[in-house]
């Protein structure tokens, strides 16, 4: 089981690293921070460039935690929170990724939640240091709850921005408001 958990942790961490570097540096066909920031602005995350930086750094921190198996419940919480925000923002396009949907962030967040419940396995820095993240309900539930709670802050801010845009946007059916 430890080999499987190590493989899951490292593969998820590698994907998160790539995802982060697309935002932060434009690697792997990504848009880079400025263009990603513009996309974030359209989605209601303002200021977009700063939010892209925060998202990219959170993905890197979560990836580092999962790859090494160090402070695993915290890394899982970071990934769950970041991917929840991304999934909500892209859910308007449906689920599947080929239509721009939330499939990828949903999967990354779900895999992190699973690792929160299973623990990092014996091939991890947590195990080597004797940290108490044994598999179980409590640590997984804590990581999941903390991640979801943390996602509420940017999602609430986004909801406020989108509400303001709707109330200040000119109506197309009233030429006096255009």
Q: How far is CA 48 from the centre of its chain?
A: 16
Distance (Å, whole) CA 108 – CA 76: 10
Say if residues 81 and 110 touch (Cβ distance below 8 Å).
no
Q: How far is CA 95 from CA 91, 102, 141, 163, in A?
A: 6, 5, 25, 24
**Torsion from C-alpha of 32, 34, 38, 41, nearest 10 degrees:** 110
Distance (Å, whole) CA 105 – CA 177: 39
Query: Over its length of 178 residues, how does the chain's per-residue pLDDT go in tens digits?
Result: 789 999 999 999 999 999 999 999 999 999 999 999 999 999 999 999 999 999 999 999 999 999 999 999 999 999 999 999 999 999 999 999 999 999 999 999 999 999 999 999 999 999 999 998 777 789 999 999 999 999 999 999 999 999 999 998 776 654 444 4
pLDDT at position 2, please?
Answer: 87
| pTM across the whole model | 0.92
Residue 64 burial (CB count, 10 A): 16
Question: Is the preceding peptide bond at 47 cis, omega within 30 degrees of 0?
Answer: yes
Q: Which has the closest alpha carbon to 80: 143, 22, 166?
A: 143
- Domain spans in the chain, listed from the N-terminal domain onward: 2-160
Residues 6+ apart with CB under 8 A from 7: none
Q: Which has the closest alpha carbon to 64: 16, 115, 119, 123?
A: 16
């Amino acid at each position: 089981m430890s080999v499987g958990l190590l493989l899951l942790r490292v593969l998820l961490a590698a994907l998160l690293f790539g995802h982060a570097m697309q935002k932060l540096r434009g690697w792997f066909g990504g848009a880079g921070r400025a263009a990603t920031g513009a996309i974030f602005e359209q989605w209601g995350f303002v200021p977009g460039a700063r939010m892209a930086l925060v998202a990219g750094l959170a993905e890197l921190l979560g990836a580092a935690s999962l790859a090494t198996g160090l402070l695993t419940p915290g890394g899982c919480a970071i990934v769950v929170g970041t991917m929840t925000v991304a999934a909500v923002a892209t859910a308007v396009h449906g689920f599947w990724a080929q239509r721009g949907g939330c499939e990828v962030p949903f999967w990354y967040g779900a895999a992190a939640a699973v690792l929160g419940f299973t623990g990092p396995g014996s091939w991890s820095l947590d195990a080597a240091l004797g940290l108490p993240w044994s598999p179980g309900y409590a640590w997984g539930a804590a990581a999941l709850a903390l991640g979801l709670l943390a996602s509420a802050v940017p999602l609430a801010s986004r909801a406020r921005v989108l509400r303001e845009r709707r109330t200040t946007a000119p109506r197309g059916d009233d030429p006096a408001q255009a």
